[in-house]
A and B are shown apart, each in its own frame.
Chain A
């Protein structure tokens, strides 16, 4: 009898607290600037034309992550403010298709270009290093997108690329596209999987 009146208020308060915790968990910033030092968003030049960021840009071409990391320590301190934001990361996924990244890197599994969903990073996995790869380009085929992709899109792309190998929180990373489902059309994939010709290859799980 003494515990009974407490029960309902406690449950109500707990439910309210749970509900309120969901409020404003994340906002869509339409105009959140990437807010990165200019040197990081446009790390200059190549070995032929070294710019102000030459010391960071001259990482060995085929360097292992550890080797590259020792050269570019300052870049690793630059945080990407889009990485905690599901909307920004999903926009990065949109740009990934729009700017034809999938033309070479496929859906992250790699093709003409290296895979992005594995743990290997030729030029470092820090956000600023990935941004530098996009903006400057890299030897053996990665073109430079300097002046072609706005800064905010570059950094949203960086967040998405890092999410593919699980470097971004799982509740922020976008889901797999419908087009990757093994079914013939998105809505048919719930039917029992009876392959018509050959069993489709098991798709690798994305980060």
Chain B
């Protein structure tokens, strides 16, 4: 799922080619150095059990020493320049991804989750989600990378190289997914206690499926259908949740924590920490610190009935 060696996009393909070239060159050099070392060891004068070593070979200088060292230096320099050239050429190839009709997504990294805002020329079509980046296959994606607190790094090994998100700076990353699938991404710059649990998923799907998903995401949350979910919504809106979370179509408009408008349609909770299912969701709400110590989400000790209602409502936000 997260594999540099199985590229699913043209950008990751370029990087993989460069990696293979470097691996090949370095492997050949490594083998040559080892062979030379082995040869030197084997031809060195050595003593038998009872005889002293024959040191006559050490009496005269190594023949053609200067010429051999010069050749080795020249060859190493040439190889290194070759690798530099390949690196520059790969960088140029990465920059030449055709961006016509690209999808624009604004990625804001937080400790420790990803805020994803799908931009659109028409403001009413902009929507926000978290930790799950859906992209259409074959269409270039331009990510605008921002950070809310410390330096993070956006990395989906199967699709593109990594890029840092630096507070106060704006970075850009372009990629294109050429094969449908789910690809794991990960923060690649140490960003605090839960850096390891700052994952996300890129879900590349056919354009029609993507458009259907985006159309659903643009809708506000559906009103609660039954009494249990109504109770859950009341609990959410009357408590501390609304201070940080946003649920479209309700009074909850917090912007400090992941958007929950369509939480039920996501695969994981807390940036890949837990699977999105009723029990983990209840456990997460009750005591987030035991699953992700240091997270900014406070625990909420609801009664079992209240928790059931709250989870039912949140799971129903699809």
A residues with a Cβ closer than 8 A to B are: 28, 30-31, 91, 94, 98-99, 147-150, 152-153, 178, 185-187
Contact = CB atoms under 8 A, between A and B. Distances in A.
Given A28-B294, A30-B294, A152-B298, A147 B239 contact: yes
Given A178-B167, A186-B167, A187-B168, A98 B289 contact: no
B240 A147 contact: yes
A148 B244 CA distance: 10
B243 A98 contact: yes
Interface of B: 167-169, 193, 238-240, 242-244, 256, 289, 293-294, 296, 298-300
Contact of A98 (B169, B193, B238, B256): B256
Given A98-B244, A185-B168, A186-B168, A150 B256 contact: no
A26 to B, nearest CB: 15
B167 A153 contact: no
B92 to A, nearest CB: 28
A184 to B, nearest CB: 10
B294 A148 contact: no
B243 A99 contact: yes
A152 B299 CA distance: 10
Contact of A30 (B239, B243, B293, B300): B293
A148 B243 contact: yes
A139 B240 CA distance: 23
A99 B244 CA distance: 8
Contacts of A99: 243
Nearest to B239: A147
Contacts of B294: 28, 30
B298 A147 contact: no
B238 A153 contact: no
The B interface is mostly helix, strand or loop, or mixed, namely: loop
B168 A147 contact: no
A30 B296 contact: no
Given A30-B293, A30-B294, A149 B240 contact: yes
A93 to B, nearest CB: 12
A178 B148 CA distance: 12
Contacts of A152: 298
A31 B243 contact: no
21 contacts: A28-B193, A28-B294, A30-B294, A31-B289, A94-B296, A98-B244, A98-B296, A99-B243, A147-B239, A147-B240, A148-B239, A148-B243, A149-B240, A149-B243, A150-B240, A150-B298, A150-B299, A153-B298, A178-B168, A185-B169, A187-B168
8 residue pairs, one from A and one from B, having the closest CB atoms: A150-B298, A30-B293, A30-B289, A98-B256, A31-B289, A186-B168, A30-B294, A185-B168
B245 to A, nearest CB: 12
Contacts of B289: 30-31
A104 to B, nearest CB: 16
Nearest to A150: B298
Contacts of A28: 193, 294
Contacts of A178: 167-168
A152 B296 CA distance: 11
A28 B193 CA distance: 10
B54 to A, nearest CB: 48
Nearest to B242: A148
A78 B193 CA distance: 31
Nearest to A94: B296
A201 B67 CA distance: 68
Nearest to A91: B296
Given A28-B294, A31-B293, A147-B239, 10 more contacts: A30-B293, A31-B289, A94-B296, A99-B243, A147-B240, A149-B240, A150-B299, A153-B298, A186-B168, A187-B168
Contacts of A30: 289, 293-294
Contacts of B243: 98-99, 148-149
A185 B238 CA distance: 39
A92 B7 CA distance: 44
B240 A148 contact: yes
Contacts of A147: 238-240
B234 to A, nearest CB: 13
B151 to A, nearest CB: 12
A53 B294 CA distance: 33
Contacts of B244: 98
B140 to A, nearest CB: 29
Contacts of A153: 298
Nearest to B300: A150
A30 B296 CA distance: 10
